[in-house]
Structure 1
Amino acid sequence: MLVLLGLVLRLAPADTLTAFPPKFQVGKLNGDVVLKCNTSEQQVTWTQNGEPEPMAELVAEGQTLTIIGLDLPAAGNYSCWAGPVLLDTTYVVVSGTREERMNVSCQAESYRGSFRCSWTGPRSAIFRARLTRSDGSLGEWVPASGRRGRFSSSFTDPSFCPFAEELRPLQLQLEGLSDTSYHSFSSHFFIRDIVRPSSPRELTTQRRGEQLHLAWAPPASWPLPRSYFALLYRLQYELLNGTQVDKYVEGAEETQLQEHARRVRISCRDLYANPAWSPWTTWQDVGATQQR
């Protein structure tokens, strides 16, 4: 049995991660971690982050390496070698000491089973995410894009049926690695609770005598038929004196105003559920027919 003691007092930083390593292992702080070199070689040597004298207290025996009392300096890339030949590599990280609480937000533009989730996390971490779908099947890991501690991933649930009642929530599982630590979090939600339509399209205004006729089209991503996936529209118009007035229209895609409006804009949401309103369209000056 070979016992390697960390005699060097400096901190040996772990390699900076840019993608999830093919093989990693999570250990508890101050606990022991056992690594296995995937090889038929009986005698191997080990390095931590390329250093032949790791800081950690290690016990090596054949193809097995035990890290005694895992701490943050002991985290990193452990490689086993047969002479100059690299045999196997395992990235070791420390699990969180308390339950992770991440601010996860998911949003779908319609009931097509596709949505995007975003969350905050350590700036130095990389993340991946996967979905437990509505039929109970487990999706593949999806790499997350991230910048300055903000991360996001897009998903599609192919088993989702927009005409059926959602009986079980989706589960989003997040997994993150920083240079020394492991992060995990899960979130449950129904698609019906995260739908936020895109803005309505093609808002037009036309003077017809003393009336102002307005017409528009639903968001391009909104599903059909319109009778089943009805929308509630919220028109906001500004009078000549600067007063802003709201008008709600159910299902229809046109209306008339008796008042003299200076400009208008429009938003929408699902008529039967109560999710978020879509973003407003830009303000449109009332005058000749225009499209946006």
Structure 2
Amino acid sequence: MMQYKHKWSTLAHGFPENFVLVIKDEDPVTLSCNTTIDSNITWKFHGEVTEDVALEDGVQQNGKNLTLSDVGANMLGEYTCWAEGQKLSSIYLLRKAEEESKIFFLHCWAKSYDCNFGCKWNDTRFTEVRLGLGHNCAEGQKSCHWVKSSEKLQDGGFQFQLFHSLLPYAEESTMLEVTAEAKENFNILRTTKKFYLRDIIRPDSPQLVKCEELEKGLNVIIKPPSTWSTPHSFFSLEHEIEYVQRDDGQTKNSSFPLIPKKISKLRVRSRDSLVQSAWSEWSPWNNVKY
């Protein structure tokens, strides 16, 4: 028997409000009209009465229910139920897409321990994508709040901004659970990814304030990025300096703020010193003159 899940969702562009998700090569599936009426119900498929549509022999109506067998691609789409010329409800029959390598389609990051983080969906086969945060979204519950893409990227991917309620000062014991639904025609891929916020931390590039010439070298003063969590005494960053020596053009790196004097340019990057997060992008090269 075909496994299926009834889905209820908040309205999001490109996604139907109500749909049934079917699993390939398993059947039958039953659609139910959302009404208390149990007789004189007419079902339509894309606006045409089901008896008039070539759906093979796989359609059987019983009161307000419509049972579909041997579901093929030609049977996917919108079904509506009617009584006395009035449309009572609409439901879409969609197919669960293949799940190969799905975990790599979704990449998330956080610039700080504040209440938001970003995600990118990078599988360009899909025309619509939405994300939901929380176990209720992973379970497909009605209470899930779906988030639409904040930006469609030039490479065909989708970018999102999500908000969480984790306390930044508390020891992290709860994993974030992000569910993605990606749609292409009448196919939907659903995937859930779990991670700790600390595992996706990647600060923005730090600010190179100035270089102070001392007797033993240059003291590089670095300021955390404006997007980093405060107070900085609690959310500490470690910095790395990359510089080019003026005499021989060699590139060197230092984890200490005091570097040699005879350099032509330098740049800096940062990461969370406590959890050893991913490094930020390098700041732009700065020419050194003194």
Number of aligned pairs?
262
User: What is the Cα deviation at residue 84 of structure 1?
Assistant: 4.4
Conserved? CA contact 2:81–2:88, under 8 Å = yes
Aligned equivalent of 2:229: 223
User: What is the Cα deviation at residue 206 of structure 1?
Assistant: 4.8
Aligned equivalent of 1:183: 189
Conserved? CA contact 1:71–1:94, under 8 Å = no
Aligned equivalent of 1:39: 35
Amino acid at match of 1:259: K
User: What is the Cα deviation at residue 152 of structure 1?
Assistant: 2.9
Q: 1:280 to 1:55 in 2, by over 3 A?
A: farther
* Secondary structure of the corresponding residue to residue 192 of structure 1: helix
Aligned equivalent of 2:255: 248
Conserved? CA contact 2:99–2:189, under 8 Å = no
Matching residue within 154, 162, 183 for 2:161: 154
Conserved? CA contact 1:118–1:150, under 8 Å = yes
Q: 1:124 to 1:83 in 2, by over 3 A?
A: farther
User: What is the Cα deviation at residue 168 of structure 1?
Assistant: 2.7
Aligned equivalent of 2:7: none
* Secondary structure of the corresponding residue to residue 102 of structure 1: helix
Residue pairs, 1:99-178, within 5 angstroms? 101-103=102-104, 104-121=106-123, 123-132=125-134, 140-144=145-149, 146=152, 149-158=156-165, 160-178=166-184
Deviations 1:102-140 (A, max 9, x none): 31211001111321112233524422221127xxxx762
Deviations 1:167-222 (A, max 9, x none): 13111112233222121111110011110011112432355678434222111121
Alpha-carbon distance between aligned partners in 1 of 2:265 and 2:111, rounded to the nearest angstrom: 27
Residue pairs, 1:276-287, within 5 angstroms? 276-287=278-289
Give TM-score scaled by structure 1 length: 0.80
Conserved? CA contact 2:213–2:261, under 8 Å = no
Give TM-score scaled by structure 2 length: 0.81
Amino acid at match of 1:226: H
1:23 aligns with 2:47: no
Alpha-carbon distance between aligned partners in 1 of 2:14 and 2:101, rounded to the nearest angstrom: 21
Alpha-carbon distance between aligned partners in 1 of 2:189 and 2:126, rounded to the nearest angstrom: 12
Conserved? CA contact 1:237–1:246, under 8 Å = yes
Alpha-carbon distance between aligned partners in 1 of 2:212 and 2:144, rounded to the nearest angstrom: 50
Alpha-carbon distance between aligned partners in 2 of 1:22 and 1:233, rounded to the nearest angstrom: 48
Conserved? CA contact 2:76–2:93, under 8 Å = yes
* Secondary structure of the corresponding residue to residue 74 of structure 2: helix
Aligned equivalent of 1:82: 83
Deviations 1:214-273 (A, max 9, x none): 222111121222222111100111112221111113xxxxx3433311001000001111
1:50 aligns with 2:52: no
Q: 1:177 to 1:43 in 2, by over 3 A?
A: farther
Alpha-carbon distance between aligned partners in 2 of 1:105 and 1:172, rounded to the nearest angstrom: 10
User: What is the Cα deviation at residue 40 of structure 1?
Assistant: 4.2
User: What is the Cα deviation at residue 18 of structure 1?
Assistant: 4.8
Conserved? CA contact 1:100–1:185, under 8 Å = no
Report the more deviating stretch, 62-71 or 144-153. Answer: 144-153
Alpha-carbon distance between aligned partners in 2 of 1:27 and 1:102, rounded to the nearest angstrom: 21
User: What is the Cα deviation at residue 46 of structure 1?
Assistant: 2.4
Structure 2 unaligned segments of length 5 or more: list them. Answer: 1-11, 136-142
Structure 1 unaligned segments of length 5 or more: list them. Answer: 1-16, 250-254
